Every structure is written in C-alpha cells, then in structure tokens.
Amino acid sequence: MSSVPERGEIDEEYKWNLADLYEDDEAWEAAYEDAEAEIEALAAYEGEMTTDAATLLATLEQLEATMRLVSNVYSYASMRSDEDTRDQEYQAFQARAQSLYASASSASSFMEPELQSVSRETIEEFVDEEPELAEYDHYFDDVLRMKPHTRSAEVETLLAELSEVTGAAGEVYSMLSNADMEFPSVEGPDGEEVEVTQSNFTKHLKNPDREFRQRVHESFYEEWGEVRNAVGASFKNSVKADGKLAQARNYETARQAALDGPNVPVEVYDTLVETVNDNLDVLHDHADLKREALGVDDLQMWDLYAPIAGGESPDVSYEEAREYIVEAVAPLGEAYQERLAEGLDSRWVDVYENTGKRSGAYSGGTYDSQPFILMNYQDDIASMYTLAHELGHSLHSDRTSDEQPYVYSNYEIFVAEVASTVNETLLTHHLLETVEDEQFRRHVLDEYLERFRSTLFRQTMFAEFEHRAHEKSEAGEALTPDVMDELYGDLKRTYYETAEVDDAIAREWMRIPHFYRAFYVYQYATGISAAVAIVDRIRDEGEVAAEEYRRFLESGAREYPLELLRIAGVDMTTPDPVQSAIDTYGEFVGEMRDLVVD
C-alpha cells in the first residue's frame, strides 16, 4: 500500500528554510513580545495622527514598523502549522498569531477615519511641509476614495476586533478538510490499496485505469457527503459574514465590497462571465475530444482529468522540473532567471507531501523574508506546472520588495495571478519547442489544455456559483447543502453540456477552499487571460515587452490593478484579453485533435 511519509522522513534539502524568518521558536516568542510593544506604540497615535505633518509621518512609520513585525510573526506561525496541521503546539502558535494580527488591525483602525477627516488640500499641505510624505501619495488617494465605506473609529475598532470571529468559518473548514477528514483507501490498478488524500486526488483521476478513477471519484465524494452538514454550515456562515461586513461598510453586496477594495469595477467580473458563457462551445469541443480520445461512449466526471495524450504519462522529478522552469523563463531576462535559480537553491520550497501537511500549494513569505513556497510535489507534469506557477508569485513578491517601499508591497490578487500564469505559459512554449520526445510533448500540450480548462472555464464557473450563492443569501434564501448541490450541479451541467454529470460531482463545491475568500476565484480567470496576452507580446516584441513586464512586477501596489496591467500592455476593462485567451485555447484544442484522433 502506498503511504504518505511523516515529516521527519523527508530530507532537509526539500524543506523550506524558515530560519530566514526566525532561527527557532524562542526567537519567534521574543518577536511576538516585541510586536505587542509595537502595537501599543501605534495605538498611542490615536487622535493625534493628523495634528501636523511630522506626526502624520511618524504615525505612518510606526504603522510600517508594527505591521512588518506582525507579518513576520504571523507568517512563521502559519507555515509551521501548515507543515503538520495535527501539531497542537503550532496550531496554538497560529491562534496566537491570529490574535496578534487582530490586535494590530484594531490598533491601526483609527488611521483611515482620521485621514478621511481632513481634506485632500490639507494632505497636500502636509506633503509640502514634510517631503517624505510624497512617497505615500497613492496610499492617500486610496484611503480617501474609500471614505464612503469607512466607519467611525469606534466601529472600525470593533470590526477589526471581530476579524477572528468573522473568519472563523474558514478556519473551521480548513481544520476539517486538512486535519480531521480521512479519505478511504481504494483498490489500485495493481490490486494493492491506494491512499486517497486531498493532495493526490486529482493525480489519481489522471490514471489511465478508468475503473480505478471511478473508485477514487466515488470514494472521495462519499467522504465529503459524510461531512456535508458541517461544510454546509461553514460555507453558509462564511457567506453571511461576507454580507454583514459589506453592509457594515455601506455596500449593497459582498461582491461590490470585495471588488472595490482593489478598485476593480464589477463590470470586469460580469464581462468575464459573459465572455466565457458565450464561448462554452470551445469547452464542449475539448470535452468531445477527450471522449473521442479515451474511446468511451459517455464522458463521465471521473474522466475529466484523464490524459488524452496516449501512453504512460512521463514522470518529472523535482530536479528535472527545476531545470525546465529555469530555462523556460529566459525570455524574461537574465536577472529574473538568475534570481529564480538562486531561490530554488536557497530552500524557498517545501517540496513533498507529508502526513498532516496542508494540501495544495501557495507562495508566502513577508517583505523582510525570502519567499516561501508550499508544495505537495507528486513527480508529475502537473506538479512541475504548479511549481512554475508559485515561483511566478514568489518572483513578483521578490521584485516588489526590492523596488518598492513597504506601503506598496502588498499587491492585489488581481495582478498576482498574472505573474504565476505567465510562468506557466512560458514553460509550455519552452517545452513544446525544445523537447524532442513526442510522447512528452503530447502530455505537455494536454497538461496546458487542462490548465486552460481548469483556470479559465472552471474558475469562471466557480465565480458564477459564488455570485449566485451570495445573491441567494442576500435575498434571504436558505443556503442548505441541498440548495448548494442543486446550484452547483446546474452550473456543472451547463459548462459540461456534452458530458454526464453525476450526483457526486454536485458536492464539488464542498472541496474548494477559495470560496472562503469572498470573490477571489474569478481572478484566476482574468489572470490567465492577461498572462496569455503578455506572453504573446514578449514572444512577438522581445526585450521591449519583457522590460515592460518586469516594470509591472517591480511596481507592486504603487498603482491600482487595472493601471498596473496597462504597464504590461493589457486592458482588462474590455473582453479582448479573455476572448483572445479562449481563441488560443481553441487553437490548442485543434492542434491536440490532430495529434490524437485518427
């Protein structure tokens, strides 16, 4: 029986180097105490912030000192907990760090109301008196534009203090899905028992043995069915919390609140959904191709991830993936390429799955640390693409930290998903153009098509589901598990009109952690659309376009997301990038059809 190793069985070279943040837990404890003192120092400026230019600057500098330290403390605790979610000590660390973060948010909650109590003219006078304030010009603009949605200092303090409570649904879901749920093992193609986990579920659905895929699919969703009431309650309360917080800030809907934060018009969201729905025939064509290539009468839900390249999927070791990715990013310039390679050699990445480890992958770290990447690497092409994806995030953060002051270091997710997908797209072109093994090339093209399908179409479907669920909640309708199953199942049948949609897949909404970050998922779809456009420019125009893209990466949050993308030559207020990406997807589907269908 295949098994997942304990963390102690994994070599140190494949674990991230958290000593870049804190040498040990004792150093973290000391930093925690320092952070508490910094929070107290920040709170002392309440009521004084806009007294004069010097005090305003001092308050902003104290905010930076506080939040940089709190971020370091929180990041270390969170990553330690993610290494093994069963570890009670690090769960306690994370809980304490969350409380610390809430305290810092509470202590700083007076700042926006106080800034908004003075005019833009007064701010400009302060800048004239204290030139160092000029660096905060975009920050001031962002704060002042949010005045209609900022409450009194007292209410802002209360909302900050409630952040742990309002985020509790997501925390409960995370512990349930990562630590408490145990999926049944199933009989593998060779007759031996195979363990199914959150991390390896999709990999098993790529196995050539169709009956095995069906067993994995059914057993996985049967387990979700056992916890449907708990997950349903978590999701319902998460949606309600989003709605109540939006109302507290004078928004009509949670979607308006979520998109107004990064200053993205809701029309961008709607344009994405409309453009994708207008082109579902391309997705249907891909589904039909998969059915033909697999030689089945009906395409079932456990067939969606099955490779159609034919033959056994090649293994890609972590070392091989590193080499491919470093070579693939060469069009972005020598400095970018060298920094990526240096990061891989500096233990940015926590590579392999271990028992209790958080599922999935992410790029983390802070302004003061090296980037950190959590992986659950599975020695396959998909894992190589995930590594390239997370490295895109990490290089974006790394470039931003080097070029921008702290105040502009936290760029929005809307632009973050561009950097990650640029790396994926460059990797695809590199592999198709340099690897001679025809079987490997077919699997690369198949993988890229799957990423297109799951990023552009699947995430847009998620965005539709999330929007409709919130609309039901806002209309006073009950969000029961049955209601969610029906809503999700209907969308799945629309998107996969030519396939068979079974009852089990209607529970898929239960396994999507991103739903606990309101209106987050659509940005994957806009991200791949922008990324394809950027890579096309770089391939057509060379260094000129690459330099503009690097400037985009280095700009952090100095401008609003739509303006940042214009630096890289992309206008997301129009349907053009989305339509162009779908057209590219259609071309690749046609190319794959020529390769695999006689």
Residue 175 has phi, psi (to 5 degrees) of: -70, -35
CB 280 within 8 A of CB 495: yes
CB 580 within 8 A of CB 434: no
**What are the strands, taking DSSP E only, across 77-202?**
186-187, 193-194
The class level of CATH for 318-436+526-596 reads mainly alpha
Question: What's the pLDDT score for residue 189?
Answer: 93
Q: Say which of 38, 112, 156, 390 is annotated catalytic.
A: 390
Strands across the sheet containing 362-364? 349-352, 372-377, 362-364
Calpha distance 130→573 (Å, rounded): 37
CATH fold label, 10-166 = Butyryl-CoA Dehydrogenase, subunit A; domain 3 (1.20.140)
Low-confidence ranges of the chain (pLDDT < 70): 1-2, 598
Kindly state the greatest CA–CA separation across the chain: 77
CB 150 within 8 A of CB 112: yes
261-262-263 Cα angle (round to 5): 90
Architecture per CATH, domain 184-297+454-516, reads as: Orthogonal Bundle (1.10)
Task: Identify the bridge partners of residue 373 per DSSP, sorted by sequence position.
Answer: 349, 363
How far CA 456 is from CA of 448, 509, 530, in Å, comes to: 12, 17, 11
Q: Is the dihedral of CA 243, 244, 248, 252 positive or negative?
A: positive
Residue 395: CB atoms within 10 A of its CB come to 25
Residue 24: CB atoms within 10 A of its CB come to 9
Task: Identify the bridge partners of residue 363 per DSSP, sorted by sequence position.
Answer: 373
Give this prediction's pTM. Answer: 0.85
Q: What tokens does 305 get?
A: 């991830």
- Helix (H) / strand (E) element for 350: namely strand 349-352
Residue 311: CB atoms within 10 A of its CB come to 12
What residues does CATH 1.10.1370.20 cover in the chain?
184-297+454-516, 318-436+526-596
**What are the strands, taking DSSP E only, across 240-380?**
349-352, 362-364, 372-377
CB 396 within 8 A of CB 380: no
Calpha distance 211→301 (Å, rounded): 12
- Helix (H) / strand (E) element for 363: namely strand 362-364
The contacts of residue 352 (CB under 8 Å, 6+ apart) are 5, 10, 14, 318, 375, 376, 377
Active site residue 390: yes
Q: pLDDT tens across 277-327, in order?
A: 999 999 999 999 999 999 999 999 999 999 898 877 799 999 999 999 999
What residues does CATH 1.20.140.70 cover in the chain?
10-166
Q: Is 335 buried (19+), middle (13-18) or exposed (0-12) by CB count in 10 A?
A: exposed
CB 324 within 8 A of CB 427: yes
Residue 560 has phi, psi (to 5 degrees) of: -75, 155
Concatenating the DSSP letter of every residue in 167-212 gives: THHHHHHHHIIIII--PPPEE-TTSSEE---TTTHHHHTT-S-HHH
Pairing of strands 362-364, 372-377: antiparallel
Q: What tokens does 175 get?
A: 């512990």
Residue written as tokens 């925690």?
A: 32
Q: Which of 378, 379, 424, 415 is nearest to 397 (CA)?
A: 415
3-state secondary structure of 279: coil
CB 414 within 8 A of CB 352: no
